[in-house]
Structure 1
Amino acid sequence: MHKIITITLNPALDKSTKVDQVLPEKKLRCEEPVFEPGGGGINVSRAIKKLGGESCAWFLSGGPTGDMLSKLLEAEGITTWTVRTKNWSRENLMVMETTTGNQYRFGMPGPETYEDEWMQCLQKLKHLPQGEVPQFVVASGSLPPGVPNDFCLRLAEIAHEKDFRLIIDTSGEALVKAAGEGVYLLKPNLGELAALAGKDQISALEQEEIAMQVINEGKSKVLVVSLGPRGAMLASKEGISYMVPPTVPLKSAVGAGDSMVAGIVMSLLKGCPLDEVVRYGVAAGTAATMTPGSELCRKEDTEEIYKWLQEHK
């Protein structure tokens, strides 16, 4: 039995390479590409592994790209469960320009996904024997075409029925529809927090009031609002607190949000108080910004930043 399950409906095979300069209408000579498994929940599982934990990554897998995702995750020692799809899993491309250090990220749309495919995730979760029900389920990332916006809401209904804690990190209508009974933790940014409150945008002066409104309306038991380099704001029935990380050398923000979620769920599993949970999450997210390209957090960086946050709380 796995205590943590991550769910990724729109996984991606992330391909990255380097080139001297990106120019139009020129044949660009690229370096040998690097392939990595990607997509919200998959990256959370990978970061959990880097932090010394274990999880099972559930994802939709189609075609050679889906096969490659499974092989790469197996090589990292991550347990997986997959639903085979008719259409190929997507592939993203990241190109770094060596002369400037600029990154060009090309995100491809997900494949058309059919009801009999995405429903398998819900059905498997719903019918897990009591002894195999996880303590935490993390639903992270975007939804591909064909998956309804209420998918996370359906997960929340199962969480309420099966009594596991559901953590959701998504955006748009899927996030708004998911909020409610059965959701333990939501991790929006400020724009997504505004959407949860039915607003187009919010100011820094409003963010605390609106976060508590979301909590008091029962849309989530815990709210961790990502504030980018300024860390995170924690909102719960106990009130509001902030975790502001130290200034670190920034190499890439790719994977910072997924690393933060990994740190949060790892600490929750240990039974840590909420303030410490979010501190460790912020430490992992900040650690990810210190690594190049799409590399996730490193444990030694995470522990060092967490120690600093504990000393400066």
Structure 2
Amino acid sequence: MKKTILTITLNPSVDKSSSVQNIIPEKKLRCNSPKYEAGGGGINVSRALKRLGILSDTFFTSGGRTGMLLEELLHSEQLDALSFHVAAETRENFTVSDISDKKQYRFGFPGESLTQEEQKEILNNIDVMNQVPDFIVISGSLPIGVDRKFMKQLINICKTKGSKLIVDSSGKLLKTAVEEGVFLLKPNIGELASLAGKEKLEDSEIHKTAQLIISQGKAEVVVVSLGSQGAVLFSATEQIQIKAPAVDVKSTVGAGDSMIAGMLSVLIQRGNYKEVLAMGVACGSATTMAEGSGLFAKENVEHLFEEIQKQQIK
């Protein structure tokens, strides 16, 4: 299958997950053997796409011993990894689940800074890529030292290629994406409120804020994640809301990235927006059924997608 998707992860991680019986302060806790998985927004999107049988190129920064482990993990999943080596050590994240009450504790580290020279080389690497993807996904947090000028340049390089740009992030990157204009944005309610300059949004304000972004030409599609309530998709002519199916939630790590992958899997086949959102919700929900930082099982996605489709018919 032709690769029509490029994912970009500027602040990737190696995600370590484990479990323990009873988390108690100031006590030595005997954890179960840890599991290591490649992490970071765009990387998780590519990993999820691979599970759906879709190829993508995965561009990411990599540094130090943790970066070497990250590359090994990606190669073990047979992803087409485009690593950009940097001086700083790649970060780690840690997730631990308490077996006694099924609560999950997530510890995320910020990641080291990118030098100005490294930022220039990243832009050049993206700019000179020969194959022009139909879709480019910029997803995840940003490393220290990356400013709005860099993000503006990156967004415009992607747009100049003629690719449809999808941005799933928060803070400076999300605001810059709105300023420059992209194909699809996927904020949660809190992030959408921040774009509107408010602490929180009422239901009617979610519609108003999303439609304003679209009417101003800042995005063709806005998908607002509602957590356990599912998601709502806005376009110039449609508003589609799909509730998340009831599942046994074990972890929310990677659910948003899986949602992006699910939507992309339909977009590249030119499916309609109802199908796009349904597959996104199915993939996101299926990932919450996995332990630790694991992603969905394809059979769970297929089952949930069918369930959502049936609910839409009623």
Corresponding residue of 1:75: 76
Corresponding residue of 1:237: 236
> What CA deviation, in whole Å up to 9, does each residue of 1:34-85 have, x standing for no partner?
1111111111111111112111111110001000000001001111011111
Corresponding residue of 1:246: 245
Whether the aligned pair in 1 keeps the contact of 2:152 and 2:180 (CA below 8 Å) is: no
Corresponding residue of 2:142: 143
Counterparts of 2:191 and 2:119 in 1: how far apart (Å)? 24
Counterparts of 1:105 and 1:144 in 2: how far apart (Å)? 19
CA gap of 1:102–1:244, structure 2 versus 1, over 3 A, is closer
Q: CA deviation at 1:191?
A: 1.2
Q: Secondary structure at the match of 1:312?
A: helix
> What CA deviation, in whole Å up to 9, does each residue of 1:215-256 have, x standing for no partner?
111111110110111111111111311112322222222211
- Consecutive unaligned residues in structure 2, runs of 5 or more: none
Counterparts of 1:78 and 1:31 in 2: how far apart (Å)? 28
Q: CA deviation at 1:193?
A: 1.1
Whether the aligned pair in 1 keeps the contact of 2:185 and 2:219 (CA below 8 Å) is: yes
Corresponding residue of 1:170: 169
Counterparts of 2:92 and 2:244 in 1: how far apart (Å)? 33
Whether the aligned pair in 2 keeps the contact of 1:15 and 1:34 (CA below 8 Å) is: yes
Corresponding residue of 1:94: 95
Q: Figure out how many residues of one structure are paired with residues of the other and give that number.
A: 311
Q: Secondary structure at the match of 2:233?
A: strand
Corresponding residue of 1:38: 39
Corresponding residue of 1:220: 219
Give the share of equivalent positions with the same residue, in percent: 45
Q: Secondary structure at the match of 1:254?
A: coil
CA gap of 1:146–1:191, structure 2 versus 1, over 3 A, is same
Q: CA deviation at 1:156?
A: 2.5
Corresponding residue of 2:294: 295
Whether the aligned pair in 1 keeps the contact of 2:16 and 2:293 (CA below 8 Å) is: no
Corresponding residue of 2:196: 197
Could you state the TM-score of these two structures normalised by the residue count of structure 1? 0.94
Letter in 1 for 2:136: V
Q: CA deviation at 1:157?
A: 1.1
Asked whether 1:263 is paired with 2:274, we answer no
Counterparts of 1:211 and 1:282 in 2: how far apart (Å)? 19
Counterparts of 1:211 and 1:104 in 2: how far apart (Å)? 32
Counterparts of 1:173 and 1:152 in 2: how far apart (Å)? 9
Whether the aligned pair in 1 keeps the contact of 2:95 and 2:107 (CA below 8 Å) is: yes
Letter in 1 for 2:88: N
Whether the aligned pair in 1 keeps the contact of 2:164 and 2:182 (CA below 8 Å) is: yes
Counterparts of 1:133 and 1:182 in 2: how far apart (Å)? 19
Q: Which moved more, 1:151-160 or 1:261-270?
A: 151-160
Whether the aligned pair in 1 keeps the contact of 2:186 and 2:223 (CA below 8 Å) is: yes
Q: Which moved more, 1:205-214 or 1:19-28?
A: 19-28
Q: Which moved more, 1:142-151 or 1:68-77?
A: 142-151
Could you state the TM-score of these two structures normalised by the residue count of structure 2? 0.94
Q: CA deviation at 1:150?
A: 4.5
Whether the aligned pair in 2 keeps the contact of 1:16 and 1:93 (CA below 8 Å) is: yes
> What CA deviation, in whole Å up to 9, does each residue of 1:177-236 have, x standing for no partner?
111455100000111112222333211121111111111111111101101111111111
Counterparts of 1:211 and 1:65 in 2: how far apart (Å)? 39
> What CA deviation, in whole Å up to 9, does each residue of 1:83-129 have, x standing for no partner?
11111001111122222222221111111211222333321222223
Corresponding residue of 1:126: 127
Whether the aligned pair in 2 keeps the contact of 1:153 and 1:179 (CA below 8 Å) is: no
- Consecutive unaligned residues in structure 1, runs of 5 or more: none
CA gap of 1:48–1:111, structure 2 versus 1, over 3 A, is same
RMSD: 1.6
Corresponding residue of 1:108: 109
Q: CA deviation at 1:260?
A: 0.1
Counterparts of 2:157 and 2:84 in 1: how far apart (Å)? 19
Whether the aligned pair in 2 keeps the contact of 1:169 and 1:186 (CA below 8 Å) is: yes
Corresponding residue of 1:85: 86
Q: CA deviation at 1:261?
A: 0.4
Whether the aligned pair in 1 keeps the contact of 2:96 and 2:292 (CA below 8 Å) is: no
Q: CA deviation at 1:308?
A: 1.8
Letter in 2 for 1:59: F
Corresponding residue of 2:208: 209
Corresponding residue of 2:62: 61
